[in-house]
Structure 1
Amino acid sequence: MSTANWAIDIDRDDIARAELVADPPAPLAPGQLCARIDLYAMTANNITYAVFGKPSGLFGNDQGYWDFFADREAPGRLPVWGFATVTESAADGIAAGDRFYGYYPMASEAVLTAGNIGPGGFTDVTPRRTTLPPIYNQYQRIEALPDYRAADHDYWPVFRPLFLTGWLIADQFEDEGDYGAAQILIASASSKTAIGLGFSLARRPGPRPETIGLTSRANVVNLAAQHVYDRVIAYEDIMTLSPAAPAALVDMAGNGAVTRVVHSHFGNNLKASIIVGKSHWDADAGQAALPGPERQGFFAPGRSQKRIADWGGAAFGQKIAAAWLAFMDVAPRLARIDRRSGGAAALAAYREMLSGTADPGAGIIVAP
């Protein structure tokens, strides 16, 4: 098949079944635009999108991540974060050559329906997307991003959405008085969301809980050398932590075995248990009754909307920008960029991430 215009179709019921398909362009309707996807990231976060592709209650309605870029009767199109350049436009205020950062399908091109067009960007108003979280429907002109630096370009799709999630989790901990915890255990600590959380907690002024990164034994030395967490230990060493010290767990991967060990070890001294992602999509999620607190999910778009309501959009943006630029000063030492090109490489990158064999020290970006 020609790979000039391609997409990757994923079985909604079995995310391990994915194939590269031809995706020929179609005529644009009024208000639509076609954008060539220049660059996107493939991370464990995308596997979470696939796991929750079907309606799961995350959005408070009967929609899931598959609804952003595919009709219900069609195979799933995985959302990814990246940059794209408009090649054709039937939307007033958007011209060929305009560049946007935002949410795209795992494909070489995307057709979007533009509304609320302004100097800063636009909102996709495709009918099936209008009831989905607004943060996913906003497309920002690169030139209008206040904290964009050309030197950071490749790190934006790799880290930006994940760092924002980590920063929002850290904000929630501060807002909740750290749930009374003296130590915060962060599982899957080599993940990029976890690193964003550890970095954000470390920047807090004044007293704060100790941060303990939990990872596989093979990753301990390298992760500790990054100095993101106060301590890094292997999963097998969780039992060496003092069960008398109030703790909180942030689980980035949905691994039930780790959750059970932490809950059993700390019991009622575990003050909060927060699950963020499901990158270990085929692992036991640990839903059986556990000692200690009930597990709670964290949903970044909801937290963003709360803080925008609390602070106002401008203040929220300023806080994120300051944190992001500080993080970008250290990001190159935290992950190297692993660039892939073309549809076959995109499919291979998805399968690699799905299998859990991707190098946590790399940020995979795909140039379609």
Structure 2
Amino acid sequence: MVQNVLVNQAKITEAELADAAPMELRDGQVRLRLESFALTTNNVTYAATGFVIGYWTFFPSGIEGKGIVPVWGVARVVESRFADMPEGTRLYGFYPMGEELIIAPQQSAKGVFVDTSAHRAELPLVYNTYVCVRAGAVEDDYKRALLQPLLATSYLLFDWLMDNDRFGAEQIIIGSASSKTGLGLCKFLAEPETRPYRIVGLTSDSNRDFVEASGGCDQVLSYDEIEKLARVPSVYVDMAGNAAVKIRLHTHLANELRHSAAVGTSHWDKFAQPGSDLPGPKPRFFFAPEQIRKRREDWGPGVIEAQITAGWKRIATDADDWMDVKVHNGLNRAPEVYRAIAEGEASPREGHVIRL
């Protein structure tokens, strides 16, 4: 038997271990056994938007009302019926929160493979891509799983804002700036030596000192201080999905708000669809794979991927200054850690890794 972590789709803070029968390997397939994976608010967003975006379909559980949340991590080939991927190969990529995954790999570039399994054929390429990684310091695996997906989204948000000339905004406001994706976006936005915009981070009062110390923001405000925002042309990038915060910010800025982007749902429990009477522009969901697709068309294959890799590694160089990696041994620890993150109990400084 193999184990997966099943999440209650109706109450996403509830998670439990469950046994499943191992699948038989077919020609052209490999069996991957997970070594480690990260748990962040990103995974909670996958659960919160599981039906809207389709994350529950990535790794079907086959059990009504229970789903498997995707995670980013590293796995090792333990059985292979694909000649170009021998046993022992280690792959970084998108996995179920569990012990193993079977894929049907096809090489797309040196050290890069795409899962061609039929049930994943319609998914964005980024979620079906697996990259060979060397055996070495496990700390590298941990930081990659914790930061690469989040900072990749941060970079794509930055690129999207620049691609759209910031929608003419003089002020870029990041909601839930203490999240790693929000923090990364602040840092990317702050990189240009000269810039025609200010960066404002919104966060809870308890996380304010952390965001200020992390750097990247010209101003940090708590959610209680939204009405202190300068009423100038602005863009709101919402990592939290808190409906009350969104309403107050839209009401305060009104027509000065040039664009409102919904990215994450770290405050998933306070999420609600905005009403038609919400002042300012209608919030629009930002889907990172769509920006990748656009840039591939603009620049050709491989260019945006190289920029993402260089970007997240650049921001991650000082990660030890703003992130404490917490390693939890055993899949049995995953439900507890996931629940704590989903209920907002985890510190923004912590990066949680499950090691199997």
2:83 matches 1:95: no
CA contact (8 A) 2:73 2:141 kept: no
How much does 1:70 deviate?
0.9
Question: What stretches of structure 2 of length at least 5 have no aligned partner?
Answer: none
- 1:151–1:338 Cα change, 3 Å: closer
Q: 1:184 matched to which residue of 2?
A: 172
- Partner of residue 100 from structure 2, selected from 96, 109, 121: 109
Q: SS where residue 323 of structure 1 aligns?
A: helix
Query: In structure 2, what is the equivalent of residue 48 of structure 1?
Result: 45
The aligned counterpart of 2:240 is: 253
Report the secondary structure of 2:16's partner residue.
Answer: strand
Normalised to the residue count of structure 1, the TM-score between the two structures is: 0.91
| Superposed CA offset, 1:296-319 (max 9, x none) | 110001111111221122322332
Structure 1 residue 211 corresponds to structure 2 residue 202: no
Partner Cα separation in structure 2 for residue 10 and residue 237 of structure 1: 35
Aligned partner of residue 93 in structure 1, secondary structure = coil
Which residue is 2:71 aligned to?
A: 80
Q: Is the 8 A contact 1:93 1:118 kept in 2?
A: no
- The question of whether the paired residues in 2 share the 8 Å contact of 1:32 and 1:91 is answered with yes
Q: Structure 2 residue aligned with 1:273, among 248, 254, 260?
A: 260
Partner of 1:122: 113
Give yes or no for contact 1:259–1:286 (8 Å, CA) kept in 2: no
Counterpart position of 1:68: 58
Q: Look up the match of 2:29.
A: 32
- Counterpart in 2 of 1:328? 316
Partner of 2:299: 311
Q: Distance in 1 between matches of 2:61 and 2:213?
A: 46
Query: Displacement, 1:252?
Result: 0.3
Name the CA distance, whole Å, in 2 between partners of 1:50 and 1:132: 16
Q: Which runs of 5+ in 1 are unaligned?
A: 59-63
- Asked if the contact 1:260–1:286 (Cα under 8 Å) also holds between the matched residues in 2, the reply is no
User: Take 1:21 and 1:150, find their aligned partners in 2: how far apart are those partners?
Assistant: 27
Task: Assess if the C-alpha contact under 8 Å between 1:255 and 1:286 holds in 2.
Answer: no
Q: Is the 8 A contact 1:103 1:136 kept in 2?
A: yes
Aligned length: 354
TM superposition shift of 1:267 = 0.7
For the structure 1 residues 313 and 151, does the alpha-carbon distance in structure 2 shift closer, same or farther, using more than 3 Å as the test? Answer: farther
Cα distance in 2 between the residues matched to 1:194 and 1:232: 12
TM-score by length of 2: 0.94
Deviation of 1:161 (Å): 0.6
Q: CA deviation at 1:228?
A: 2.3
Distance 1:126 1:266 in 2: 47
Deviation at 1:18, TM superposition (A): 2.3
Query: What's the % identity of the aligned pairs?
Result: 36
Query: Does the aligned pair in 1 maintain the 2:265–2:271 contact within 8 Å?
Result: no
Give the aligned residue type for 1:30: D
Residue 360 of structure 1 aligns to a residue in which SS?
coil
**Shift of residue 284, structure 1, vs aligned partner:** 3.6
Q: Secondary structure at the match of 2:268?
A: coil
State the SS of the aligned residue for 2:196: coil
> How many angstroms apart in 1 are the aligned matches of 2:137 and 2:311?
14
Contact 1:257–1:286 under 8 Å retained in 2:
no
Secondary structure of 2:18 counterpart:
strand
Shift, 1:149, TM fit: 8.9
Measured after TM superposition, the shift of residue 14 of structure 1 is: 3.3
- Corresponding position of 2:20: 23
Q: Which residue of 2 aligns with 1:155?
A: 143
What is residue 61 of structure 1 aligned with on the other side? none
Corresponding residue of 1:132: 123
Aligned residue for 1:249, secondary structure, equals strand
Give the whole-Å Cα distance in 1 for the aligned partners of 2:114 and 2:183.
Answer: 30
2:11 is aligned with 1:14: yes
DSSP-derived class of the 2:106 partner: strand
Contact 1:40 1:83 in 2 (8 A): yes
SS of 1:154's partner is helix
CA apart distance, 1:202: 0.9
Residues 172 and 97 (structure 1), Cα distance of their counterparts in 2 relative to 1, 3 Å cut: same
Deviation at 1:110, TM superposition (A): 1.5
Aligned equivalents of 1:187, 1:319: Cα separation in 2: 25
Could you tell me how far apart the structure 2 residues matched to 1:325 and 1:281 are?
29
1:83 CA displacement: 0.6
Taking the aligned partners of 1:118 and 1:90, their CA distance within structure 2 comes to 20
User: For structure 1, which segment, 151-160 or 71-80, has the greater mean C-alpha deviation from structure 2 after superposition?
Assistant: 71-80
SS of 1:27's partner is coil
Cα drift, residue 124 of structure 1: 1.0
